[in-house]
Structure formats: structure tokens, C-alpha cells
Amino acid sequence: MGNYSIDEDYEFDVLKGYDEYYLKNFGTPKLAITRAKGSKVIDFDGKEYIDLLQGIAVNCLGHSNPELAQIIAAQANSLAHVSNFFTTKPQVQLAKKLAQIVGFEHNPRVLLTNSGTEAVEGALKIAKKHKPHGRIIALDHSFHGRTLGALSVTSKEKYRKPFSPLIPDIEFIEPNANRLRDAFSDNVSAVILEVIQGEAGVVPIDADFIKAARKLTQKHGALLIIDEVQTGIGRTGKWFAYQHTDIVPDIITSAKSLGGGFPIGAVITTGTTGDVLVPGDHGTTFGGNPLAAATALKVLQIIERDNLLSQSAQNFPFVKEILENHQNPYVKEIRGQGSLIGIELTSQSAAQVADKALENGLIVNACNPSTIRLAPAYNIGIIELRSALIVLDRTIRQVLDLNYED
Ligand code: PLP
């Protein structure tokens, strides 16, 4: 797995240290990982795993991409950080590149952030200022992040309850065009939605609903915010998932794959939406940091140069075909697009399957009780992907087939 120069103290018990010193919000980590390359990951016992989750849809070029490592080192050696009193070439180059790939014809503008939830905060602040005291419509089963604004438009009661009251005047509706029409009025300031709801179980939202959301927001002077944190930067085979539809939103939010493993997010606006925030309205110390911006720019350049949008697009049909050929009786449905794939099981055993997969040397996750999520690197080799799917098929049978014998 290449040269590894960072000092490894094998005597240091990482999991014990985590238990002792880290906050408890994530629970006990399933593994302590020491290094990784491409789609392979190694834990502290030297055990190898194939990673089909890639930091939950983050490492779109796989682990330890040498070109990203190089740009991070070079940028750190020349200019790692400046305040937002100043600007830098990577910051502006990245904004320009994002403005080009987003496909907004009118006045595309970018704000760089440090994470997905922070991008959503930026979008919500624009929506609230654009129409003060307006309602915001979000969808049932949505996930937009864990900071208080993003949490306010996240539907899951378990995540919301301990922190209520959250931002008021948020209405959750099912993604049904008639329901949206009923909910709409002139005092709606924005609709926020994911084109494919990732955390909900890789559930695509109906194109008719998205079209209705566009029409109604336009009619009532509200903004349409598409949260592309999980689906963006080629994850579904296009730069942004909304580009599979024939609408154009007012704002998109991005993060995850944008940095290929380096923390960064972005809010991208079009038209006059980009004029809503004025000096003093919003800020971030690290957002637009040249180290993050140079890395993200490199990610976009590599995706473009290596034709990875089309490679990402091919992962879903490949996975579907391989899994269908296995005729696993415990697989009910295979959903998704590109490199975001949900495998719905016939029972609520996804967490047990994910745990067993880890034992079998495979990293996947249970994004809801019955769905396994795959978010592989766009450039994963088909031999590696095929062998990972064989492990997954076997794991599902091990967990669900009471008569299973190896
Ligand atoms: N929005 C969507 C659609 C997401 O899937 C996520 C994270 O999973 C977020 C926002 C929050 O992003 P982050 O975890 O970077 O804050």
C-alpha cells in the first residue's frame, strides 16, 4: 500500500483512547483504521477491507489519491490559510470552476464552506433573508445536516427532539405534487429537497414533484434549494443530480465528494439570489481556505480529465446486474444512480448485514433498517467491485438465511 511514513505507535490502543477521550455522540467506532489506498482499507490489526462506502460518499477518487496528496503538500508549502479579508487564486479558481459545472446561466456565484451542514446553513440564511418570516417546506425523510438550522429542515424526529425548539415555520410534507400545491402560499420562502434522499435509503424523488416544486416556487416568489451534498460532484453520473431533470434550482449546496476527502462545502446561487447576502450577513473563518480550495479544484480537474462522470454513471448498472445475477432471495430492490446505490433487503436486517460484512472484509452501511448503502469511488476497478459484491451477496445470505452453510 505504498510508502507510509507517518509514525505508527502500535502500542497505542486507539479504540480504548477513543472510549476514554472522545465525546459519545457517534457511539463506539466499529474499527480503528490506520491507512488506505484506492478502495482498500487496513485496520490496526492489519486486516484488509474493500471500501464501498468511502467515508459516506466522500472519497470519490478513492483513498490516498497521489495527485491530491501532492496538491495538498504543495499548497501547504506555499499558502495554507488566509482570512476572508483577503482572497487567493485557488479560492477564485474553484468558484469559477463550480460556476462553470453547475450549469446556471445567470450570474452563478459561490460561497465556500467547510461541510455540508454549513452549506445548508448558508442556503437557509439566504432563503430567510430573501423573504423574512416566510415558511420553509422540507420533505419527509429528508436529511440536511446536524447544525441547528440544517437540523430544522431534517425530518427525523429522533435527531430533532433533544434540540427542540428548532427554527420555527418549517413544514414537512410527503413528496407529492398535490400535497405541495396544498401547502403553498405567498408566504413560503423556500423549498429544500434532495434529488435522491441518501440517508433515507437512497430514495429518488419523483421528477414530477421536482417540476412542481420549481413551478410553485417561481409562481410564489420562493427559492428552490437543492441539497446536492450527497448527490453532487459526479456521484450520480452528472456533476449535479438536478441535471438529470429539466429544471434549474436557485441554490444548490455541495460538500462530501467536492473535497475528495478534504473537508469543504459550497453554496452555489443563480440570478439575484446571489445578491441577497451583503457584507456582515454571513461568514466563516475557514471557508474558502486555499488548502481546501486547491484540493477541490484538483478533484474537479481529475474527474473531468479522467472522464469519471461516465465511470461513476456505470457503477449502478454494473452493481445491479451483478447482484441480480446472484438472484439473492433476500434482496428486494436495488435503487440509485451512478455511484450512490441502495440495496433494499426483504427484512430489517441492514445493520446486521453491515456488521457481518465488516467481519467479511467489506465496508458498507445501513442507511435505514432495511437498506444497505454503497457509495464507492467513481474509479473503482470492476474486478474489485465484482469481488466486493460477491462478499456482499454471501454476507446477506449468511445473515438472513437460517439454513446458510459456508
Ligand atoms: N445534506 C445531505 C443531503 C447529506 O447527506 C449530508 C450528510 O450526510 C449533509 C447535508 C450534511 O453534511 P455534513 O455531514 O458534511 O455536515
Q: Is the pTM of this model over 0.85?
A: yes
Cβ–ligand 1 contact at 120 (below 6 Å) = yes
What is the amino acid identity at position 4?
Answer: Y
As a whole number, mean pLDDT of residues 161-175 equals 97
Tell me the best of 53, 117, 152 to mutate to test the pocket of ligand 1, counting ligand atoms within 8 Å of each CB and taking the most. Answer: 117
Is it the case that residue 206 has pLDDT exceeding 60?
yes
Supply 206's cell numbers: 419523483
Determine contact, residues 276/130, Cβ cutoff 8 Å.
yes
Determine contact, residues 180/173, Cβ cutoff 8 Å.
yes
Cα(89)–Cα(280) distance, integer angstroms: 23
pLDDT of res. 247: 97
Report the nearest-CA residue for atom 7 of ligand 1: 145
Cα(146)–Cα(123) distance, integer angstroms: 15
Cβ–ligand 1 contact at 373 (below 6 Å) = no
Least confident of 9-23, 256-270, 287-301, 334-348: 9-23
Cβ–ligand 1 contact at 144 (below 6 Å) = yes
Cα(285)–Cα(322) distance, integer angstroms: 46
Is it the case that residue 3 has pLDDT exceeding 60?
no
Q: From the CA of 11, how far away is ligand 1's center (Å)?
A: 35
As a whole number, mean pLDDT of residues 230-248 equals 98
